[in-house]
A and B are shown apart, each in its own frame.
Chain A
Amino acid sequence: MAEKQFKLEIISPDRLFYDGAATMVEYKTTEGEVGVYADHVAMTQIIAPGKLTITEADGTKKEAALISGFVEILADKITILAETVEWPDDIDKERAEAAKKRAEERLAKKDSGSIDVARAELALQRALIRLSF
């Protein structure tokens, strides 16, 4: 039996990023990594920087870097409101590399605990995700 599908919409501020049917979508939330199938209980989750994997009806997988936003899950429809989301082809590798270097330098200099360190860690995380494609 074919797996049940749901409608997946990924909206970013400047465009409709993705609109189609999927059987599963995986992403990372503030609570940890999750994978969602159809008929999930209604839920709103906050995105943490991570990899987004969409499994389409025919089994093909699509990946993207999902940096921030939130998800609204309904039984037959999932909407991801993404502040920042990029297909692997759209990622600016050089910029990510530079951001990684910058973040690492900052981390090397500062003592832990300050707000700058937290920010640099987040920046590093984002850069690493972008570079992982």
Chain B
Amino acid sequence: MPSMIDIKRRKASVTSTQQITKAMKLVSTVKLQKARGRAEQSKPYFDKMYATVTSILKKSGNLNHPYLTDNGSTKKAVIIVSSNRGLAGGYNSNVAKLLTESDLKVEDLEIYGVGKKAIETLDRKGYNIVKECHDMIEEPNYGDAMNLGKEILARFAAGEIGEIYLAYTQFKNTVVHIPTLVKLLPVEFDETAVEENTEDTKTPMNYEPEAEESLDMIIPKYVCSLIYGAFVEAHASENGARMQAMDSATSNAEELIEKLTLQYNRARQGSITQELTEIISGAEALN
């Protein structure tokens, strides 16, 4: 049986931990609201972007466009979006797992890391990390996404890399976040989704400049917007995941404190009883 002092100390330490987790939960709740607002505001842009690109692709049929075909290189670039800070439950390891558990070969991959945590894991596993830009995830902005996108697109255009992937955590709602790995280039579209998207716009679309040239300019924008989308969603997911983790930590601490209080009271009562017994038996011995 631990002594009263020990229990008291333990309780004090759990209480101060709980205060920290509680504060972190509050902070991430506020951040989540902000991040979610941003994710929602950028949604129409991506929806429209996707609709436009799919309708161009559908109309132009089998184009032999560099962005749509395999350029022969076996190298694959992966942009992996995680967070710079831990204490977010399984958030960071789930993103890293996307790669470690996929059938992409380690030696073919070139990693562009946004967010330290997943990169630390991948670095240990021997992945080739070509660039780390951890500041981008702190305050997602479109300019950063555009710069990163342009850099990778240039390498794709030069034939240095053959495929571009994006690993991030999709933000469904506050409690559901789905780690996803998507292929950015060469562009692959789900045929059925294309059908649905263009059904309602029956008017034939004209392009100025021609569809092929438009594609040339729209696809980079499309890629950049997907990267930016991944940033904002990952940012929202990160704070959601942290909020959940901290919430359960706080309630675990609560449980622990309750248990310790009970133990403490028992120990206190035990010592009182013992003292009484000692006094009584002492008095009896005197008589």
Q: Using a CB–CB distance below 8 Å, which chain A residues touch chain B?
A: 11-16, 29-31, 41-46, 68-70, 72, 74-75, 79, 81, 83-84
Task: Give the Cβ gap from A42 to chain B, nearest Cβ, in Å.
Answer: 4
Knowing A16-B41, A83-B142, the reply to whether A75 touches B203 (Cβ < 8 A) is yes
Knowing A44-B56, A81-B49, the reply to whether A13 touches B225 (Cβ < 8 A) is yes
How long is the Cα–Cα vector from A44 to B42 in the complex, in angstroms? 21
A-B contacts counted at CB < 8 A amount to 73
Which residue of the partner chain, among A11, A15, A46, A84, contacts B209 with CB atoms under 8 Å?
A46
Q: Which residues of B contact A30 (CB under 8 A)?
A: 209, 217
Say whether B201 faces chain A, with CB atoms less than 8 Å apart: yes
Can you sample 28 A-B contacts with CB below 8 Å? A11-B44, A11-B45, A13-B142, A15-B41, A15-B42, A31-B208, A42-B204, A43-B206, A43-B208, A44-B52, A44-B207, A45-B207, A46-B208, A46-B214, A70-B217, A70-B218, A72-B52, A74-B201, A74-B203, A75-B203, A79-B48, A81-B45, A81-B48, A81-B52, A81-B221, A83-B142, A83-B225, A84-B142
Which residue of the partner chain, among A12, A43, A68, A74, contacts B207 with CB atoms under 8 Å?
A43
Q: Which residues of B contact A12 (CB under 8 A)?
A: 45, 142
Q: Mark B28-62, 1 if CB is under 8 A from A, else 0.
A: 00000000001001101100110010001000000
Q: Which residues of B contact A83 (CB under 8 A)?
A: 142, 146, 221, 224-225
Say whether B205 faces chain A, with CB atoms less than 8 Å apart: yes
Say whether B228 faces chain A, with CB atoms less than 8 Å apart: yes
Q: Which 6 pairs between the two chains have the least Cβ-Cβ distance?
A: A42-B203, A43-B206, A13-B142, A45-B208, A11-B45, A46-B217
Q: Which residues of B contact A42 (CB under 8 A)?
A: 201, 203-206
How long is the Cα–Cα vector from A46 to B221 in the complex, in angstroms? 11
Residue of A nearest to B206 (CB): A43
B 145-159 contacts with A by CB, 8 A: 146
Q: Which residues of B contact A81 (CB under 8 A)?
A: 45, 48-49, 52, 221
Residue of B nearest to A32 (CB): B208
Interface size class of B (residues with CB under 8 A): 20 to 34
Which residue of the partner chain, among B41, B206, B224, B228, contacts A44 with CB atoms under 8 Å?
B206
Knowing A30-B209, A31-B208, A44-B205, the reply to whether A14 touches B48 (Cβ < 8 A) is no
Q: Which residues of A contact B224 (CB under 8 A)?
A: 83
Main secondary structure of the interface of A (DSSP, over half): strand
How long is the Cα–Cα vector from A124 to B56 in the complex, in angstroms? 31
Q: Which residues of A contact B204 (CB under 8 A)?
A: 42
Main secondary structure of the interface of B (DSSP, over half): helix
Residue of B nearest to A84 (CB): B142
Q: Which residues of B contact A29 (CB under 8 A)?
A: 208
Q: Which residues of A contact B201 (CB under 8 A)?
A: 42, 74
Q: Which residues of B contact A41 (CB under 8 A)?
A: 206
Q: A29-B208, A42-B204 are in contact. List 19 more A-B contacts (CB 8 A).
A: A11-B44, A13-B42, A13-B45, A14-B38, A15-B42, A16-B41, A16-B44, A30-B209, A31-B209, A42-B203, A43-B208, A44-B206, A44-B207, A46-B217, A46-B218, A72-B52, A75-B203, A79-B48, A83-B142
Of the listed residues B48, B207, B208, B218, the one surrounded by the most CB atoms of chain A closer than 10 A to its CB is: B208
Task: Give the Cβ gap from A29 to chain B, nearest Cβ, in Å.
Answer: 7
Q: Mark B176-210, 1 if CB is under 8 A from A, else 0.
A: 00000000000000000000000001011111110
How long is the Cα–Cα vector from A42 to B204 in the complex, in angstroms? 7
Knowing A70-B218, A72-B52, the reply to whether A13 touches B209 (Cβ < 8 A) is no
Please tell me if the beta carbons of A14 and B209 are within 8 angstroms of each other in the complex. Answer: no
How long is the Cα–Cα vector from A45 to B41 in the complex, in angstroms? 24
How long is the Cα–Cα vector from A122 to B141 in the complex, in angstroms? 21
Q: Which residues of B contact A84 (CB under 8 A)?
A: 142
Residue of B nearest to A75 (CB): B203
